[in-house]
Amino acid sequence: MDAGPFAPLPFQASTPWLAPLAGWSDLPFRLLCRELGAAVCCTEMISAKGFVYNSPGTHELLNTLPEDNPLVLQLFGAEAPFMAEAALRLKERGFTWFDCNMGCSVPKVTRTGAGAALCRDVDNALRVAEALIGAAGPGRAGFKLRLGWDAAAAGTWKTLARELEARGAGWLTLHPRTARQGFTGQADWQALRELKTLVRIPVVASGDLLSAEDGLRCLAETGADTVMYARGALRDPAIFTSHARLLQGLAPSRPDAATLKARILRHAELARTYSSDRAALLKMRTIVPRYVHDLPGSRALRLAVIACRNWDDFSRALDSCL
């Protein structure tokens, strides 16, 4: 599907981003988050080599619409020629904005030398970056970083940040943990503050942004240009609405059961419209337990939804519990 026209990327406190979430930030979820205030959305992480070789399932990750705009397509890979070839082919399909994942710590990614493993080979990381920037164009590619591979190399991000900016990166996203940490411990927001002093290009903050309150506190403490919600958006896609309300001095959005039910039904409608019926049901069976986790008496709904075998089961589960 043609990606359609793209608007410039906004980097302001009032324009929060939806992170690239493997298995989650598909077209239906992105559209839902946009309706709730996400200013920029990222695709799921896509293998550059897998795209070039037409690996099964890769092209489905590219589904988009003109309404899904602006959209950042996130690529990962450890081989510069494949990164360049993938970006060039994707540009032909209408994609304009790209992000290179240099922060994913999942073993199946790092074993290939990609993701956060690039922190261990700065020379190759820069070759991959030059290939992407050369294909996408200066300012059209961003890079998502971690602090380094482990505590002993927790300053790698500083070298990469300076070199990436010098080579024409458009923005940098930093998740201030090491690859070894995964999502454990606490994100070092002080590193985000330091990154703002090192580069002139926009900085997108990531890490421990589980609520809109976290997002605004991060902006205040670090000076980052904007924030990228990941786990916080999976818990509550209305985190973007709450973000806007807090900026206006209003209370964050706290949905009641009726509002939550309407949101779930809207996500289901989008999922059924833009993916297969079976895939849509499976996705709702996994996402609804996250949405209702904090709702009083949610255990019964979570169990009922997980057990659904068809959409009639799904509707009955919602009607009986919400």
The reply to whether 1 falls in a domain is no
The pLDDT score that the predictor gives to residue 57 is: 87
Contacts of 43 (CB under 8 A, 6+ apart): 20, 25, 30, 61, 62, 64, 71, 72, 73, 74
Domain end marker among 194, 223, 247: 247
The answer as to whether 262 is a domain residue is yes
- Is 18 in contact with 7 (CB distance < 8 Å)? no
* HSE of 135, CA atoms in CB hemisphere, 13 A: 26
Q: Is this model's pTM higher than 0.85 or not? A: yes
Q: Answer whether residue 8 is part of any domain.
A: no
Is 104 catalytic? The answer is yes
pLDDT at 297: 76
* Whether residue 149 sits in one domain with residue 290: no
Q: How far is CA 117 from the centre of its chain?
A: 19
Residues 180/150, Cβ–Cβ less than 8 Å? yes
Give the per-residue pLDDT at 7: 53
Question: Is there a domain that residue 221 lies in?
Answer: yes
Same structural domain, 90 and 157: yes
Residues 283 and 143 in one domain: no
Which residue, of 194, 220, 247, is where some domain finishes? 247
* Same domain, residue pair 227 and 104: yes
Residues 223 and 292 in one domain: no
Decide if 6 is inside a domain: no
Q: Would you state the structure tokens that stand for residue 234, as one six-digit string?
A: 């999976």
Catalytic, out of 104, 119, 218, 321: 104
Separation of alpha carbons 171 and 177, rounded Å: 19
- Count up the domains in the chain and report the number: 2
Residue with tokens 């290009």: 201
In this structure, the answer to whether residues 195 and 298 fall within a common structural domain is: no
Q: Are 139 and 271 in the same domain? A: no
Residue 7 forms part of a structural domain: no
Check residue 232 and give its pLDDT.
96
CA 74 to the chain's CA centroid = 9
**Has residue 70 been placed in a domain?**
yes
Please tell me whether residues 286 and 226 are part of one structural domain: no
Q: What is the CATH classification number for the domain harbouring 263?
A: 1.10.1200
Tell me: cis bond preceding 20? Omega within 30 of 0 counts. Answer: no
Beta strands (DSSP E) in 198-286 are 203-205, 226-229
pLDDT at res. 118: 96
Domain that holds residue 128: 17-247
- What is the predicted pLDDT for the residue at 256? 86
Q: 231 with 310, same domain?
A: no
Residue 35 identity (one-letter amino acid): E
| Residues 301, 207 share a domain | no
- Contact of 41 with 63, CB cutoff 8 Å: no
Residue 84 and residue 192 in one domain: yes
**Phi/psi-derived region of residue 276, left when phi > 0, alpha when psi is between -120 and 50, beta in every other case:** beta
Residue segments in the chain with a per-residue pLDDT below the cut of 50? 1-6
Q: Are residues 261 and 231 in the same domain?
A: no
Alpha-carbon span 144 to 38, nearest angstrom? 19
Predicted pLDDT at 125: 97
What single-letter DSSP state applies at residue 145? E
A 10 A CB-CB count for 295 gives 16
Where is the domain boundary, 247, 265, 284? Answer: 247
Residue 204 sits in a domain of what CATH number?
A: 3.20.20.70
Would you say residue 86 lies in a domain?
yes
Tokens of 67: 């309404």
At residue 223, the pLDDT reads: 98
